[in-house]
Amino acid sequence: MIKKMKIKIIWFISVFWMTNAYADNLKELHSGFLSPPIDGHAQTWWHWTSPFVTKKGITADLASMKAIGYSGAHLFVTGSSPYPEGHYPEMLSQEWLALLEHAGKEAKRLGLKLGIHNCPGWSLSGGPWIKPEDAMQMIVSSEVNVSADTLQKIVLPQPETRYNFYRDIAVLAFPDINTHEKPQLEADFSINDPDKILDHDQATFIRLPIKEKDTEAVITLKYKQPFEARFIELSFGEVHLFVKGKVEASMDGIHFREVAAFDYKIRTDLQSPKCIRLKENTESFRYFRITFMHRPYRVWMTPVDIRLNDIRLLTSSMIPDVDSRNSAMEDSYSFKPFVSDYISDGIDPTKMLDLSGKMLPDGTLRWNPPGGNWTILRIGYTTTGKCNAPATLSGLECDKLSKNGLDAHWKGMMSKIIERIGYLNVLKYCIIDSYEAGGQNWTPEFETEFLKRRGYSLRPYLPTVVGYVVGKPSESARFLYDFQRTVAELFAENYYDYFTELCHKNGLLSITESYFGSFDYLRCARKADIPSGEFWIGSKTPISCLYRSAGHFHGKKYVAAEAFTTDEKQGRWLQDPQQLKEYGDRAWAQGISKLISHSFVHQPYLNVRPGFTLGRHGAHLSRTNTWWKYGNGWIDYINRAQFLLQSGEPVVHILILSGESDPNKYTRIPELSWAGYGYDYCCVDDLYDYITVRKHRITSPSGVTYSCLSLGEEKYLTKKTLESVYHLLRSGAVILGRRPLGSPSLSDKADEYNELVEKIWGASKQGEIRKIGKGKLINSTDYLSVMNHIGILPDVKAPAGISTLHRRQGDIDIFFLYNDSCRTVSQDIKFRICGNKIPEYWNADKAKIDTVALWKREGDYITIPVTMLPQESRFVIFHPGSVPHLFMIGEEKTRKKNPSGVSAHIVGNKVRLFFTRPDTVVVTDNNWKNEKIGVSHVHAPVDISDDWQVSFPPASGAPDTVHLSKLESLSENSSDSIRYFAGTATYRHPFVVTEEMKGRSLRILLQLGKVRNIAEIFVNGKKAALLWKEPFSIDITDMVCLGNNMLEIAVTTLWVNRLIGDLRNETVVPETNGWPDWVLADKPDSGVGQYSFSTWKGWKKEEDLQESGLIGPVRLEFVEVR
């Protein structure tokens, strides 16, 4: 009896504790939703785009950030805007630091936090304090060809040297099979000294006259004797290489046939030679004709006549596009095997001689060739010469592969910043922007690090780094992968990881955008306090699953994005909150939880608008935007939504290896998302260092667990990775993946590797399952069939195009839905929900929570009929409880489900039906009781689109007041002063409410129709709503009275029409050194018709105006409630 009593007491206490815990949990979530904690708020990048910075501008900037709802600003000091002549402090001078200190004091006063990019500009980590020995390094080489038959003094030229810095690595010699006959050169353009492109010297060059559209330049090489050329090597001197062309060969110089083509549209900071394979490489020719053709540049580039440094025809096997295989280029890290018949074997490693100890300091080589012809490579390194940009204070980029580089850089920049404003306790973040610093493939300790990590010496294979094949082609390809992997690991450890370490030592949090370099993006993101990405207006969110995965796997509360960046055409002050919402919502659906707007540009003036810009880049989200004072509705929406997205833990199902041989393929898998499954990526280092198995679930260090691990589409895996896979299988993991083709690494021995592959895959066929230890290996990459096999149900069953995201906080399930399609979706959505829970819509735009009135439980799922407009989003929250609701609404005659014109809502804890047209329906409630409900009459809509009074603000160029007989776009008005208006116009219209409109069961909706772009509504002098997105509709029932009423709508337009209008105004205004005097005097207009000024125009006077103002139709619509 006593024992039973104890059990009852324990049970009662447990239930009581759980009930209270749930109640507290829901209360906390509700409170945070209505008043989000400031740390999770939206923030902004704050660009000081020129040396022209003023204290009054700083104060005004920060005050407007606070007013709109930002929690902080991240400072970037760039050289992106023109500025008036005058004295301005240099960055980091005492005068400049005083401006920064003022910013810190103002931010502290306002309760804002600051971040700062770690160097001037946005790319990447450098400045004038970086010495060449601490800068980014690259491998360079010079080549000498000698013969034992001609005994001579051998002097090895010092390879390309930048910034007067060079160090040797090795001198290597190997038998030479190339012809070295100097050809006769002809060209269809003038060349003063043909030897400049035949001397194998990177310092000499000619220019190809092909910068104009449809131009070409032809060079013909004539040899005395025919020979079998396998490759042509072209050396160019351009960082941005945009050129295409073809190579033709002939025996007689008359009849040519094409043997190769090339097409380059790349960034090549290290300017490595381009080796192009000739198609007919088993035939001899005397003549070779190379045609270089103009290739269109990117819109922001200026075409140039290409620098051609050198041309060589080679018989030896070479590595095509070696700069994409040796970390010389950005974003090129991957294993690139050669097809079996691509090239023949290269240099015999057993015949290669290391002559490093035989060279004197002046380059003289104390060595006599043993016989035959020899190629001697002097291989060393110099700085890449890459500088931080765009900045007014610029210098070399620091070494990214050595901690010494970042130490030197931190001392030169961040230590000075912290010393000056650290005492304010307002500087919280330090940032690395996306990688744009070019390639790096050497550091002084690289050879030692390679041996330690790969287990063999790189020296015999160094010629592959400069383009020669060593051994079999597969051998060279695997060495180059090992070389790239070593570079990538040093990038991760000595740059990105160490950056976070330095931040922590100085009380800062790190924000890093670790992508677009020659490294493993995900590996470089894992130590960041806030992993971050970016998205641009006009394009889908790139590799967003990278940032999400880093956040989920490593337990980061905030996953950030540089948000709303634009280029030339997409920006131009075209953004409004509705458009920005579309892109922000899409980023949230893909896992972003903290938006950092791009960008707020510092405005040194108080009255000049729109003012300074970040060149052509935007969006222009700063205090001089027309709608800025009305933007807090949008920012409040962001802050509430982000609170929910930052709450609880992610619910995900599949962990996918991002790749080992090609680690940066973070493709979205829409069939998984749309089927209701969540997935993350991990890198191979996560596999080695962190993943464990608990109760057959893959477990991350953050505690997030997954049903299975997928090896993705990977074709090549190393032995170390297979050992980790085998260990996880034996520990109970479910792993899906196909048998690899082999190892990408030269470190792995074939017999050991093959034995391990057999242990894992055996003789299994596609789709088969193997039991290994406590786990299962599924030979498949069909995610959906695997999830079905292991019994994992989708979290959400939604129509294609609906992206879903699921988080869980205790017993509360948080779902975010986003309609990423161009069609309205009106369909049932099923949510897998355990226990007795009720659904609610948490409307972040209105700070309003609505209990869902129409839903039903169906087994493991709760089904809700949902209608979502294109790009619409919605939060659906499930929490324990019960509430009356309906199972179904059907038409009386046809019983068609959920007919249009009728909707269910919870009003006063009761279900009510809202009718927008006469109808009769049958409803089924949660007790399976049917009831017929209908209305015979709904008041007809009342159109009020005619006869409006419109007033305009002073100093806007528009008249005080005008009468519009009918609503239309302001841009269609006959008066230029109205057509070009930008700002807030106030529309007024009286209307009458009759007794018939004011019935007890009747609701009155104000429908504004089309609005460009934001509307603040007042009814009878009282604010009704601020509407910044479609539908522009509001219930005004409780604000109207019987009889006469007054409607007032303040509509804010964009800058575009005023910018175009001012360009059309050819009135001359006084200028000083190219700057309008009215701008220099900080006046709001010129006094002769110009009301806008911008450092970047963006528009042309002949371009079309944009729709603007209240366009309508405006109507009163009515809803009968039953």
Query: Which three-class secondary structure string do you get for 1037-1051?
Result: HHHCCCEEEEEEEEE
What average pLDDT does this structure show over 594-621? Answer: 97
Alpha-carbon gap, residue 778 to 277, rounded angstroms: 41
What is the band of 14 on the pLDDT scale with cuts at 50, 70, 90?
Answer: very low
With cut-offs at 50, 70 and 90, classify the pLDDT of residue 7: low
- Binned at pLDDT 50, 70 and 90, residue 891 comes out as confident
Residues 6+ positions from 1117 with CB-CB distance below 8 Å: 916, 941, 1004, 1005, 1006, 1007
Q: Which of residues 288 and 544 earns the better pLDDT score?
A: 288
Averaged pLDDT for residues 240-259: 95
Q: How confident is the model at residue 270 (pLDDT cuts 50, 70, 90)?
A: confident
The 10 Å Cβ neighbour count of residue 511 is 28
The DSSP symbol for 501 reads H
Q: Is the pLDDT of residue 280 over 70?
A: no
Report pLDDT for 792. 94
Instruction: Quick: pLDDT tens for 953-988.
Output: 999 999 999 999 999 999 999 999 999 999 999 999
* pLDDT for the residue 893: 66
pLDDT, residue 285, reads: 95
Return the SS3 of 204: coil
Band of residue 271 on the pLDDT scale cut at 50, 70, 90? confident
Q: Is the peptide bond before 1031 cis (omega within 30 degrees of 0)?
A: yes
152-173: pLDDT as tens digits: 899 999 999 999 999 999 999 9
Q: What is the pTM of this model?
A: 0.95
CA atoms of 658 and 526, how far apart (whole Å):
14
pLDDT band at 3 (very low <50, low <70, confident <90, very high): low
Residue 943: is its pLDDT beyond 50? yes
Hey, which residues does 1050 pair with through a beta bridge? 986, 1016
Q: What is the pLDDT of residue 111?
A: 98
Question: Given the DSSP bridges, would you call strands 1010-1012 and 1109-1112 parallel, antiparallel or unpaired?
Answer: antiparallel
Read off the pLDDT of residues 1064-1082 as tens digits, 9 standing for 90 and up.
999 999 999 999 999 999 9
Closest CA to 268 of 289, 239, 307, 231: 239
Tell me the pLDDT band of 927, cut-offs 50, 70 and 90. Answer: confident
Do 596 and 45 touch, CB atoms closer than 8 A?
yes
Helix, strand, coil percentages (3-state) for the chain, rounded to 5, are 25, 35, 45
User: Once rounded to an integer, what is the mean pLDDT over residues 180-208?
Assistant: 91
Predicted local distance difference test score (pLDDT) of residue 5: 59
Which of the residue ranges 339-343, 374-378, 438-442, 743-747 would you say has the lowest mean pLDDT? 339-343
Q: What pLDDT, on the 0 to 100 scale, is given for residue 977?
A: 97
Burial (Cβ within 10 Å: 0-12, 13-18, ≥19) of residue 362: exposed
Element (H, E) at 72: strand 72-77
Residue 17: predicted pLDDT: 46
The pLDDT score that the predictor gives to residue 541 is 55
Query: Does the pLDDT value for residue 542 go beyond 70?
Result: no
Q: Which residues of 204-242 are buried (b: 16+ CB within 10 A; e: fewer)?
A: bbbebbbeeeeebbbbbbebeeeeebbbbbbbbbbebbb
The neighbouring-strand residues paired with 47 are 76, 601
Phi-psi region of 293 (alpha: psi -120 to 50; beta: other; left: phi over 0): beta
390-406 confidence digits (pLDDT tens): 999 999 999 999 999 99
* Distance between CA atoms of residues 764 and 784, nearest Å: 20
Q: What is the pLDDT of residues 807-848, one digit of tens each?
A: 999 999 999 999 999 999 999 999 999 999 999 999 999 999
**DSSP assignment, residue 742?**
B
pLDDT computed for residue 15 by the predictor = 45
What is the C-alpha end-to-end distance of the chain, expressed in Å?
A: 55
pLDDT tens-digit series, residues 441-466: 999 999 999 999 999 999 999 999 99
pLDDT of residue 16: 45
- Inform me whether the pLDDT recorded for 13 exceeds 60: no
Q: What is the CA radius of gyration of the chain?
A: 34
pLDDT at residue 938 greater than cutoff 50: yes
Is residue 6's pLDDT more than 60? no
Identify which has the larger pLDDT, 270 or 685: 685
The values of phi and psi at residue 45, to 5°, are: -75, 140
Q: Is the pLDDT assigned to residue 333 strictly greater than 70?
A: yes
Domains (range + CATH), the chain: 40-129+389-441+492-645 (3.20.20.80), 182-315 (2.60.120.260), 649-787 (3.40.50), 796-935 (2.60.40.1180), 942-1054+1106-1121 (2.60.120.260)
**Location of structure tokens 């690090």:** 449
- Name the residue among 561, 564, 562, 585 with its Cα closest to residue 573: 564
